[in-house]
Amino acid sequence: MVQLCHLFRCCAAGKQHSKTTLPESRQQQQQQSAGFSPQCSCATFRRTGSCRHLPPALSSELGSPSPRGQVETSNNNNNNKDTNNNDKDNNNDKDNNNDKDNNNDKDNNNDKDNNKATKYLASQEAESGLAMPGVPNSPEALPVLDLPRLGGEDWLSFGPQLGRGASGATVLRCTQSARALQTASAGADGTEDGTVQCAAKVLPLSNATFADMVEDFGREVDLLRSLGRHSCLLGFFGAWRLPAGSCSLKSAQITCEAYVLCIELCDAALEDVVQRRCSQKRAFAQHELMPCLAQVSTGLAYLHSRGVMHRDMKSANVFLQHDLPPGERLQAVTKEDFLDLPLHELRAKLGDFGAAKAAERAQTPVQTPQFMAPEVCRQEAPYGLEADLWGFGSLLHELLELSVPYGQELTFPELEQKLLAGVPPALSDRAGAEQRCPSLVPLMDSCLRADPAARPTAGQVVEELARMPSLSAARQPVAAAAEVAHSGGTG
């Protein structure tokens, strides 16, 4: 159990759900860490004994090797000296005031050493242009992706920061030139001046970037290229290698080179709508949810038909658009007004393929813990596409409950026990949910079956949604999604 609890901490480090922080005291961490060494299944950990999934503080606390080398060792030693000297000062204050001068001399020396280490670490952050969690590595040792260099008539203009990706990348609003779009991808909606509004994931090639971050970034680019365009998936607009100093994050200039991939820009994530409805205590009705679920399941069915597992199904990875031209929809309403629009009037697209894998079986657990299928948690055998259907059922539970599955107060050991036992998340007001969404609650139950073989396929979910009785406002989008799923078209 202890090892799986640590596994959850590793998985959540890069993909922590923004709505919940599972409480765990310092004492519990020390009890759990005693008697085992930190483990991670990524290639970087296997090569070096450390990776971005393990916080440096945890690694040093448990005695694992630190890739920072001599600089971090010196810094840790100096911090230990500071702690010891501070203890001495406190004891001397009580027992013997005559030793204060000697200890102050030691403190001054340690402060000088600490200042040297602090200046070194600050120089690493300054070189990268932003302070990122992780361990400094040499950019020259990072994997090289086969991406074209951006320049000439191909240009990107970066705007405000929209968020952060799971692989250490930062997501920015971006304007893309028509020439760049033509060389990378076709079919995007442009504005009158020929430019395209998009979202750009930028990964700086700095001393704070791990090799596995670059590898994950490269796999996502390859996957997006292979998928083509589909109306229920976020569109891919190309990927490049940026020259140094070509963009800034949080008003800090990136002085190193960076990789960037451009994807379709949406107005909000479904998670934002869930949080808005939760604050308003306004539950979804069935006719509001059905078009959104039909489009998400259609996108998932398309992924599965191409032999791709999404592996991170949740509302934070479903993105919404208004049915207005791209140049108008972002200025038409404020974000607060957008979140109050009827959900069935918006288009839903499945996105964030950072955890996706072009395979029908996988071994590594990368899902957000609250959305993880029992067979993934057990790690007894490779899991398959059925794990995505558990994730879809967990997403449906999130929409009915307006909260993350299993609640926000559950600790990791408690969550692990439920997953190992195959216990699905329960609805706090099941009778009310059945009254509001009489057809969707049974669908959720079927997706959350403990036996993976007993769950429906993504295609069967699309068909089931198309057969459900619903109000006329929801019929057309659901039927259209079902037609796209059957044809395998791009819409």
Can you give the pLDDT at residue 320? Answer: 94
Show the domains of the chain with their CATH numbers: 2-127 (no CATH), 139-264 (3.30.200.20), 268-487 (1.10.510.10)
For the stretch 455-480, pLDDT in tens is 999 999 999 999 987 644 444 554 55
Q: Report the half-sphere exposure of 113 (CA within 13 A, side-chain side).
A: 18
Residues of the chain with pLDDT under 70: 1-140, 151-154, 166-167, 178-194, 245-255, 324-333, 470-491
Structure confidence at residue 142 (pLDDT)? 83
Q: What is the DSSP string of 45-56?
A: HHHHS--TTS-H
Token output for 445: 């139950």
| Structure confidence at residue 44 (pLDDT) | 62
Sequence-distant (6+) residues with CB within 8 A of 266 are 199, 234, 319, 320, 321, 349, 351
What is the model's pLDDT at position 206?
82
Angle between helix axes 440-447 and 286-305 (nearest 10 degrees) is 30
pLDDT at 99: 53
What is the C-alpha to C-alpha distance for residues 32 and 321, in angstroms, rounded to an integer? 44
Task: Supply the pTM of this predicted model.
Answer: 0.70
The DSSP letter of residue 474 is: H
pLDDT tens per residue across span 374-432: 999 999 899 999 999 999 999 999 999 999 999 988 899 999 999 999 999 999 999 99
Per-residue confidence (pLDDT) for residue 123, from 0 to 100 = 43
Q: What is the pLDDT at residue 195?
A: 77
pLDDT at 483: 52
Secondary structure class of 164 (helix, strand, coil)? strand
What confidence score (pLDDT) does residue 34 get? Answer: 42
- At residue 254, what is the residue type? I
Tokens of 136: 């400094």
Q: Are 412 and 5 in contact (CB under 8 A)?
A: yes
What 8-state DSSP symbol labels residue 193?
T
